[in-house]
Homo-oligomer: A and B are copies of this chain.
Amino acid sequence: MAVGIGILGGGVVGGSLARRLLSDRQAILQKTGLDLELVKIAIRDTERSRLFPASYATTRVEEVVDDPDVDLVVELLGGRRPASSLVRRALQAGKPVVTANKELLAAEGPELFDIAAGKGVSLLFEAAVGGGIPLIRPLTESLAGEKLTRVIGIVNGTTNYILSAMSEAGTSYEDALSEAQRLGFAEADPTADVGGADAAAKAVILGGLAFGVWADAEAVYRRGIDDLQVADIAFARELGYVVKLLATAESLPEGISVRVHPALVPLSHPLASIRGATNAVFVEGPAIGQLLFSGPGAGGEPTATAVLGDVIDASRELLAGAQVTPRVIVGAGSVAEMAKVASRYYLRLEVSDSPGVLASIASAFGENQVSIASVRQDGRGDEATVILITHEAAERDHQAAVDQLRALAVVKQVAATIRVLGVE
User: With A28-B145, A309-B143, A331-B30 in contact, is A290–B285 under 8 Å at CB?
Assistant: no
* Stretch in A253-261, A299-307, A397-405 touching the partner: A299-307
The reply to whether the CB of A65 lies closer than 8 angstroms to some CB of chain B is no
A146 to B17, CA, bound (A): 11
A16 to B145, CA, bound (A): 12
A176-218: which residues lie under 8 A (CB-CB) from chain B?
Answer: 212
A306 to B137, CA, bound (A): 12
Contact assessment for B134 and A142 in the assembled complex, using a CB-CB cutoff below 8 Å: yes
CB distance from A270 to the nearest CB of B (A): 7
One of B145, B293, B295, B313 near A144 (C-beta < 8 A): B313
Question: A353 — which chain B residues lie within 8 A by C-beta?
Answer: none
Question: A324 — which chain B residues lie within 8 A by C-beta?
Answer: 316-317, 320, 322, 324-325
Contact assessment for B142 and A137 in the assembled complex, using a CB-CB cutoff below 8 Å: yes
Contact assessment for A288 and B295 in the assembled complex, using a CB-CB cutoff below 8 Å: yes
**How many residues on the A side are at the interface (Cβ–Cβ under 8 A)?**
60
Contact assessment for B288 and A302 in the assembled complex, using a CB-CB cutoff below 8 Å: yes
The reply to whether the CB of A141 lies closer than 8 angstroms to some CB of chain B is yes
Contact assessment for A305 and B146 in the assembled complex, using a CB-CB cutoff below 8 Å: yes
A293 to B132, CA, bound (A): 13
Contact assessment for B292 and A293 in the assembled complex, using a CB-CB cutoff below 8 Å: yes
User: With A141-B137, A212-B31 in contact, is A287–B309 under 8 Å at CB?
Assistant: no
Interface residues of A (CB under 8 A from B): 16, 20, 24, 27-28, 30-33, 126, 132-134, 136-138, 141-147, 212, 270, 273, 285-296, 299, 301-302, 304-306, 308-309, 311-313, 316-317, 320-326, 329, 331
Contact assessment for A287 and B302 in the assembled complex, using a CB-CB cutoff below 8 Å: yes
Contact assessment for A299 and B289 in the assembled complex, using a CB-CB cutoff below 8 Å: yes
| Contacts beyond the supplied A145-B312, A320-B323: 10 A-B pairs with Cβ under 8 Å | A32-B329, A33-B326, A132-B288, A137-B137, A143-B305, A145-B309, A146-B308, A289-B296, A292-B294, A322-B324
- Which B-chain residue is minimally distant from A275 (CB atoms)? B268
Question: A293 — which chain B residues lie within 8 A by C-beta?
Answer: 291-293
Contact assessment for A20 and B295 in the assembled complex, using a CB-CB cutoff below 8 Å: no
Report which residue of A145, A292, A304 has the largest number of chain B beta carbons within 10 angstroms of its beta carbon.
Answer: A145
Copy total for this chain: 2
Question: A309 — which chain B residues lie within 8 A by C-beta?
Answer: 141-146
Contact assessment for A301 and B288 in the assembled complex, using a CB-CB cutoff below 8 Å: yes
Question: A331 — which chain B residues lie within 8 A by C-beta?
Answer: 30-31
CB distance from A406 to the nearest CB of B (A): 41
Contact assessment for B325 and A316 in the assembled complex, using a CB-CB cutoff below 8 Å: yes
Report which residue of A32, A134, A285, A325 has the largest number of chain B beta carbons within 10 angstroms of its beta carbon.
Answer: A134
A299 to B68, CA, bound (A): 51
Question: A285 — which chain B residues lie within 8 A by C-beta?
Answer: 305
Question: A145 — which chain B residues lie within 8 A by C-beta?
Answer: 20, 24, 28, 305, 308-309, 311-312
Give 20 pairs: A residue, B residue, CB < 8 Å, sorted on A: A16-B287, A32-B144, A32-B329, A126-B142, A132-B288, A134-B291, A137-B141, A145-B311, A146-B305, A146-B309, A270-B273, A287-B302, A287-B304, A289-B301, A290-B296, A291-B295, A292-B295, A293-B293, A322-B324, A324-B324
A292 to B134, CA, bound (A): 10
Question: A143 — which chain B residues lie within 8 A by C-beta?
Answer: 134, 305, 309
Report which residue of A24, A142, A304, A320 has the largest number of chain B beta carbons within 10 angstroms of its beta carbon.
Answer: A142
Contact assessment for B144 and A20 in the assembled complex, using a CB-CB cutoff below 8 Å: no
A74 to B311, CA, bound (A): 30
